[in-house]
Amino acid sequence: MNAIYIKIQEQAVKIAAQYPVADFYLDFADQVEYSLDFFSTDPVVCELYAYVTENIEDDFGHGLIHVRKVAHDAGTLAMIEGGQNNGNSGGALRHRLRLAQCAGLLHDIRRKHKHHAHEGAVFSKNVLAGYPFSDADITDICLAIENHEAFGGTRRCRNAAGALLSDCLYDADKFRWGTENFTHTVWAMVAYAHIPIKKFMELYPKGVSFLEKIKTTFRTPTGRKYGPQFIDLGLGVGQDIYRFIQSEFPEHL
């Protein structure tokens, strides 16, 4: 990453720290904590995490940090949406949590490929064959991965549980398009693609418009309620960064 983008990212982190935490993490603090603990202690998730650590492409803004956060939040959403009100408790709920976290870990395993969601699903099917999942579980995880791309077509899941897993993965992935988009993801992507700052600023309005549209795509009831706030927080940080670039680097625009 060049010196200018390093300075911009550092400023973005400082700006984001002044914004509030998304309400999702406050209103569901118990589920968030449980999902985090499960992620670090469940043997299946831990084994898959070790695999992903060794195999994911980590220089494109959608690497290990990204998939770990998606896994955490997909697990939290699976608990919220698939809890006792839907007949899941105990072992059944932990199983849904495990599926969601594994889907989160694998969803961007082929992120640099042109059709990354589809290719990631195909790749993940082979990976998961070595784990203690049924054929139905693997189908659910892979369909969730295939369905996680924004504004793309979605394949029909085999049942309501599979559809819920798919929706939880999608929403958890799109939560990342909030403040994290401007503290990490964008700068990794422009550095990888060697995009000049002038070109980045020319493309910026189009990117903001795209983020605005994401607010209408959340799929779970929880995602539809809390997801737009994630995006609005990110857009606020983005606007502050845009003004910072204009004032600090006018000679590059």
pLDDT tens track for 228-248: 999 999 999 999 999 999 999
Question: Are 57 and 131 contained in the same domain?
Answer: yes
Entry pTM: 0.94
Q: What is the pLDDT of residue 84?
A: 47
Residues of the chain above pLDDT 90, percent = 75
Residues of the chain above pLDDT 70, percent = 97
Average pLDDT, integer, range 171-200: 92
Q: How many helices (H) and strands (E) does the chain have?
A: 13, 0
80 lies in a domain? Answer: yes
16 lies in a domain? Answer: no
Residue type, 241: I
What is the number of domains present in the chain? Answer: 2
pLDDT tens track for 38-48: 999 999 999 99
The CB density around residue 199, as the number of other CB atoms within 10 Å, is: 12
Last-in-domain residue among 137, 157, 174: 174
Question: Are 48 and 164 contained in the same domain?
Answer: yes
CA distance 249 to 130: 51
Q: What is the pLDDT of residue 60?
A: 80
CA distance 162 to 141: 8
Q: What is the pLDDT of residue 157?
A: 86
Question: Are 137 and 219 contained in the same domain?
Answer: no
pLDDT tens track for 84-126: 445 555 788 899 999 999 999 999 998 888 889 999 999 999 9
Strand, helix or coil at 219? coil
Q: What is the pLDDT of residue 162?
A: 94
Strand, helix or coil at 222? helix
User: Which structural domain range is residue 34 located in?
Assistant: 22-174
15 lies in a domain? Answer: no
Question: Are 223 and 101 contained in the same domain?
Answer: no
Q: What is the pLDDT of residue 151?
A: 85
Is pLDDT of 155 > 90? Answer: no
The confidence band for 153, taking pLDDT boundaries of 50, 70 and 90, is confident
- Return mean pLDDT, the chain: 92
